[in-house]
Amino acid sequence: MAQAQVAVVHTVTMRLRAVPLLAALVATACLAACDSGDGRSLAPLDPDPTIAPVTQPPALEVFSLSSVAFSEGGAIPALYTCAGTSISPDMAWASAPQAAELALVVRDLNADGFVHWVITGIDPAAQSFAAGALPEGAQELQNSDGSIGWFAPCPPAGGGEHLYQFVLHAVPDPLDLDADEPAERAAAAVEAASTDQAVLTGTFTR
């Protein structure tokens, strides 16, 4: 009976000793299979031809409006207001969508949407116009004061900061608006026809 127990213990001991040896043999075989051939480095894995490489999507082009005179959310210099010469500011745009024309509407958001400027017939390819000027073919319409063209910001003195929103609209079909069209009606017509917009905001305090 004792001899049988000794035999069992001997067999179990031999099996336990064989486990590390077997693991070492497997690791050696793996290293040999993965070796690049010089005995020092592992061969790189071959890429799977069925898996497409990951590529970054192209950057989206955004329709945008800017001005040399002021930056987004910045103060409109006095030069372009009733505290200065009242000249109209420059405008520039990028990535304009396909459109029959562009149209600009400028409102004072702190004065019930008072219309300071309406321009129609802007060529999308023009990309900019200088201060005091307009792109060729563009037409200025009435502002809320009843005059044609740019009505310079002129909030009440001591009335706090006013926010002026310049919105350039992409219009799919030509607008048929007369220069003497009332400002609110003209602005509303542009906004209703618009399919895309670029926005620039500026502030002025008097």
Task: Please determine, for residue 14, whether its predicted confidence score (pLDDT) is greater than 60.
Answer: no
> Which DSSP letter does residue 89 get?
P
Nearest to 166 by CA among 118, 94, 120: 118
Q: 46 in helix, strand or coil?
A: coil
Q: Give the helix, strand, coil percentages of the chain, each rounded to 5.
A: 25, 25, 50
What is the per-residue pLDDT for 30? 42
pLDDT band at residue 64 under the 50/70/90 scheme: very high
The answer to whether the CB of 171 falls within 8 A of the CB of 193 is yes
Rg of the chain taking only CA atoms, in angstroms: 37
Mean pLDDT of 120-140: 96
What is the per-residue pLDDT for 47? 58
The answer to whether the CB of 107 falls within 8 A of the CB of 146 is no
Mean pLDDT of 105-112: 98
- Of the chain, the percentage scoring pLDDT greater than 90 comes to 67
What is the per-residue pLDDT for 55? 62
Mean pLDDT of 47-76: 79
The answer to whether the CB of 170 falls within 8 A of the CB of 194 is yes
- The count of other CB atoms within 10 Å of the CB of residue 96 is 21
What is the per-residue pLDDT for 61? 77
Distance CA 192, CA 121 (A): 16
What is the per-residue pLDDT for 13? 44
More confident residue, 134 or 3: 134
